[in-house]
Amino acid sequence: MLVEDLMRSFSKKLLGIALSVGLTVSAFAQDPTFVWTGNGTNDLISNSANWPTTMGSQFFQNGYGLLTTAQRGTYVIPAGSSATAYGFDVTNVTLDFDGDITSVRNNRFNGFWMRNNMTVILGPNGSYTFQQLDGSADAGQITMQGANNRIEYHMQGTLPFQAIFIGAYDGNGGQNNHLEQYAGKISSEFTYVGTMNTGGTEQNTLTLYGGTYEVSHTLLVGLDTARGTHGNGAVNIYGGAISTVNMDGAVATINGAQFVPSVNLFIGGVDGTDFGTFAMTGNNTFSGDFNVQMAMPLTVLDPSILNTNIISLSTVGNTKVNLKSELFTTANDGKMVVLDTAKKLAGSDTYALNGTLELTDPVSEGWIELPDSSNPFTVELFTNDLGSMTAAEEFAAWLGEDFFANAEALDSSTIQLTFSPENSDDVFMFDFTNYAAANVKLHGFSTSEVPEPSAWALMLLGAAGLVTLRSRKRK
């Protein structure tokens, strides 16, 4: 039961963001899908005849964009198509864009607006331009107003903005809005995350899984003390890099409860192989938390983390840096968070492939640089106090859940893991402190190199050739 409870809790933490940002998706699952065909013109908005005849006629208002009375459904601009939009103002729909889109401001809506229950997917094959009212190439604006809006950014290019509001200053709510970035580059002068929660307490988030997010002036997360709003926001970094010149935001009180804004850096990403960075170069008046933690109990990382300041703050200010794992430490008066060299396993500097490292003092957390290899590794962890083979099997299942190709209990004190390194000389990190009830500690481990499937195939072919040759000689 202990392991089951731990796994449930751990899964909830990892899936929390995915569940929160996916609320709008299920709402559209049974709604119709309309695919843009162009019909001889590249003007998406000014003439509703350019869309399939099955589309609701009230979806458009000439010159003003998508109406809030639009028919629910998914509207698709496929790769290879080109269209112009005049500022979206829509609710209860999904826009799935993988073509070339130009969104132009108009005199009714200040940029790209998302009212309620709207999902926008910017696909990897498209290019997107958000322009001013006069059609100039200046960066536009995104405003998530109301609740349950989401943007997925998958494109490879650069998208500049004057401002991005993940929760807006309009008195119409601003909760449960999310921007997810997977690739490319987003640049904005200002980004506000969770600055308006008048309609509820659900958190607004900016989440990076990859790519680069640059703020040239101010990143504000949570309460905006200048305006006195009721903010609840968080920045989550699983991969990629976020940088800002200035940082601002404070604790908010909503319906009598306090909400602390946070920047959460998950070392290990979502699959144990990645990490993100956060850098701030200017004024820091942020009074929230920076949380640095392992995204899972056992991680394999790119070795460049050894020489990277995963969080760099120009001044500490009111910011609190919370190290959720003792594998990390602060340096330079708390301005940087780095991997703790004191946690490197003793004797690991001379550790070689196909060798065994026995620890004099068992530990529950630490790291080691793995020997150079392009093939998968088999790692055996030696533990104690699991008590039985059943407990060892449960512990192996906990470790292997969703992260490794194989995690197997060889006996009551030995767990075998098989995984592929991302680069040569990867860093193998482990943190079993969340399994403290079983008092799991590492006594040592050994590694052996497992040949790639292609190598196995060549070996088998060679063996088959030898068998054939011997057979012929016998004849």
376: containing domain: 348-454
Regarding whether 447 and 403 lie in a shared domain, the answer is yes
What is the pLDDT, as a whole number, of residue 86? 60
User: Are both 289 and 432 inside the same structural domain?
Assistant: no
pLDDT tens-digit map of 36-60: 665 444 444 444 555 555 554 444 4
pTM here? 0.81
Q: What is the structure's pLDDT at 237?
A: 96
Please say which residue of 306, 341, 376 terminates a domain.
341
Q: Is the dihedral of CA 460, 461, 464, 465 positive or negative?
A: negative
Give a yes or no: residue 9 inside a domain: no
Residue type, 361: D
Mean pLDDT of 420-433: 78
Answer whether residue 371 is part of any domain. yes
Note whether 171 and 275 are same-domain residues.
yes
pLDDT (0 to 100) of residue 374: 74
What beta strand segments (E) does 82-222 contain? 82-85, 89-91, 93-97, 100-104, 112-116, 119-122, 127-131, 140-144, 150-153, 158-166, 178-181, 185-193, 204-208, 212-221
Q: How confident is the model at residue 461 (pLDDT cuts 50, 70, 90)?
A: low
Lowest-pLDDT choice from 136-140, 240-244, 247-251, 290-294: 136-140
**How confident is the model over 347-363, as a mean pLDDT?**
85
Please check the confidence at residue 469 and state whether its pLDDT lies above 60: no
Last residue of a domain, one of 284, 314, 341: 341
In whole angstroms, how far apart are CA 327 and each of 30, 63, 226, 446? 46, 56, 37, 21
How many domains are contained in the chain? 2
- Count Cα neighbours of 318 within 13 Å in the Cβ-side half-sphere: 12
Burial label for 242, CB within 10 Å (0-12, 13-18, 19+), is buried
Same domain, yes or no: 258 and 361: no
User: pLDDT tens-digit profile of 148-197?
Assistant: 899 999 998 888 888 899 987 655 567 899 999 999 999 999 999 988 76
Quote the pLDDT of residue 262.
95
Q: What is the pLDDT of residue 465?
A: 57
8 Å CB contact between 229 and 204 = no
As a whole number, mean pLDDT of residues 127-142 equals 68
Better-predicted residue by pLDDT, 390 or 460: 390
Domain closes at, from 320, 341, 362: 341
Q: Is residue 461 part of a domain?
A: no
Q: Are 376 and 277 part of one and the same domain?
A: no
Kindly state the average pLDDT of the residues 428-438: 72
| 6 is a domain residue | no
pLDDT at 139: 63
> Has residue 267 been placed in a domain?
yes
Task: Compute the average pLDDT of residues 442-461.
Answer: 66
Counting residues of the chain whose pLDDT is more than 90, the rounded percentage is: 19
402-438 exposure pattern, b = at least 16 Cβ within 10 A, e = fewer: ebbeebbbeebbbbbbbbbbeeeebbbbbbbebbeeb
Per residue in 200-258, pLDDT tens? 788 999 999 999 999 999 999 998 888 777 788 999 999 999 999 999 999 988 878 88
For residues 204 and 297, state if they share a domain. yes
Is the pLDDT confidence value at 384 over 80?
A: no
Q: Are residues 28 and 155 in the same domain?
A: yes
Mean pLDDT, the chain, whole residue set: 75
| Burial (0-12, 13-18, 19+ Cβ within 10 Å), 352 | exposed
Residue 195 belongs to a domain: yes
77 part of a folded domain:
yes
Share of the chain above pLDDT 70, in %: 69
124-143 mean pLDDT: 72
Considering the domain architecture, whether residues 378 and 246 belong to the same structural domain is answered as no
Specify which of 305-319, 389-403, 433-447 reaches the highest per-range mean pLDDT.
389-403
One domain, residues 47 and 189: yes
* Range with the poorest average pLDDT among 72-86, 333-347, 381-395: 72-86
Higher pLDDT, 401 or 116: 116
Both 249 and 384 in one domain: the answer is no
120 Cβ contact list (under 8 Å, min separation 6): 94, 95, 97, 114, 150, 151, 152
**Same structural domain, 320 and 374:** no
- Whether 74 and 214 map to the same domain: the answer is yes
User: Does 252 reside within a domain?
Assistant: yes
